């Protein structure tokens, strides 16, 4: 099966199709992680996006259900340099071809992913269509240009859980945490549970009143897809919780905290996606971190008298973390739970525990 990617700019990449024989449409981004393609595919923060992986070969260690970060893949499509038909790993339960085919995800391989990444870096993220190579490129380009932009889209409501649930915790859990699901990853829940938390997961629209009625020791604000600014309901609820209970947010949760503190957000040219971003924290130490975000908080929009800026990306200076000077509240833009990625930032879950203990 021959497949093509047609971008809104008119650039066309033709290659071999794998996975499901279906078309896909979405915003095209690139991820620089060397491993973890299954975790990337099932990260709800990628809803509405086609992901290009920069690692040279994908699929060579197969797939296992244990590595899913959600109940299903959320990417619209996958683009790789080489798609391996062979899976060599004792944990593998099925090949990646079977995995993506059964889940309805098309895969484009055998293209120059370096050229695609350079195009996205120069021109910014592009809306695109994955379709059979026989399709008319100009027609597909027009369709790509008609795809709704990520700006202004509240995708958190589309990926959140329909009803509350309790994540299994270790016996003798010390703290009760209510976790807002804006697109939460399972490894976040595992990390909270491993640190001694009983985690009650609630839908994105749950009111502050209903959360406080559970008498939590802390509230966690999860990652998620889309633009944070349309999520005014979440900002309202965060303001209703601030100062009343310790709060820890990551990714979209960080952006929503920024908005709740009176700040502003903006869209990055091509986003941060990958497991190798250097971040300097407040101590001056450098963490190698996992990222997946398209928007960021404008540090100049926050009041220095109220908010301490704690983390900065060393690649482009993006604000990556903040802490309130008086209230028990902090957040980071990146993913301390990794999956995939380095474990340099696991300490943040410990910091959340200390905040709740105080």
Residue 337 a catalytic site member? yes
Residue 343 a catalytic site member? no
Q: Is residue 259 within a helix (H) or strand (E), and if so which, with residue range?
A: helix 252-260
Options 52, 197, 251, 291, the catalytic residue: 251
The answer for residues whose C-beta is within 8 angstroms of residue 56's C-beta and 6 or more apart is 81, 82
Contact 267, 205 (CB under 8 A): no
Q: Strands 2-7 and 12-19, how do they pair?
A: antiparallel
Options 119, 254, 277, 335, the catalytic residue: 335
Residue 320 a catalytic site member? no
Measured at the CA of 189, the angle between CA 154 and CA 271, to 5 degrees, comes to 45
Token output for 353: 């525990």
Token output for 245: 């209970």
Token output for 52: 């290009």
DSSP, residue by residue, 167-228:
E---TT--EEEEEEESS--HHHHHHHHHTTEEEEEEETT--HHHHHHT--SEEEE----S-S
Cα separation of 23 and 232, whole Å?
Answer: 33
What would the 3-class secondary structure string for 52-69 be? Answer: EECCCEECCCCECHHHCC
Contact 149, 190 (CB under 8 A): no
Contact 238, 207 (CB under 8 A): no
Residue given tokens 């994955």 in the structure block: 130
Options 8, 76, 287, 337, the catalytic residue: 337
Q: Which residues are catalytic?
A: 251, 335, 337
């Amino acid at each position: 099966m021959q497949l093509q990617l047609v971008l809104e700019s008119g650039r066309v990449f033709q290659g071999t199709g794998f996975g499901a024989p279906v078309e896909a449409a979405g915003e095209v981004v690139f991820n620089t992680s060397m491993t973890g393609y299954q975790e990337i595919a099932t990260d709800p923060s990628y809803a509405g996006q086609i992901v290009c992986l920069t690692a040279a070969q994908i699929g060579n260690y197969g797939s296992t259900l244990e590595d899913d970060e959600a109940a299903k893949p959320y990417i619209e499509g996958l683009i790789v340099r080489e798609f391996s038909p062979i899976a060599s790993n004792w944990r593998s339960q099925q090949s990646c071809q079977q995995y993506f085919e059964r889940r309805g995800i098309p895969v484009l391989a055998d293209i120059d992913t370096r050229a695609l990444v350079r195009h996205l870096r120069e021109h910014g993220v592009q809306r695109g269509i994955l379709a059979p190579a026989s399709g008319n490129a100009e027609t597909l380009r027009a369709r790509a240009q008609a795809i709704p932009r990520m700006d202004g889209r509240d995708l958190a409501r589309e990926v959140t859980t329909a009803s509350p649930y309790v994540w299994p915790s270790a016996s003798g859990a010390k703290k009760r945490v209510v976790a807002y699901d804006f697109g939460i990853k399972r490894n976040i829940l595992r990390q909270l549970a491993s640190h001694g938390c009983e985690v009650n997961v609630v839908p994105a629209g749950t009111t502050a009143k209903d959360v406080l009625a559970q008498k939590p020791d802390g509230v966690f604000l999860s990652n998620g897809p889309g633009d944070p600014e349309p999520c005014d309901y979440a900002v309202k609820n965060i303001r209703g919780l601030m100062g009343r209970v310790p709060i820890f947010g990551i990714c979209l949760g960080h952006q929503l905290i920024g908005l709740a503190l009176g700040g502003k957000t903006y869209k990055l040219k091509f986003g941060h996606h990958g497991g190798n971003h250097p971040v300097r924290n407040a101590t001056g130490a450098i963490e190698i971190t996992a990222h997946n975000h398209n928007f960021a908080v404008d540090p100049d929009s926050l009041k220095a008298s109220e908010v301490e800026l704690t983390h900065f990306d060393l690649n482009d200076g993006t604000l990556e973390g903040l802490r309130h000077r008086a209230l028990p509240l902090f957040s980071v833009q990146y993913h301390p739970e990794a999956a995939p990625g380095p474990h340099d930032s696991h300490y943040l879950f410990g910091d959340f525990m200390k905040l709740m203990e105080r």
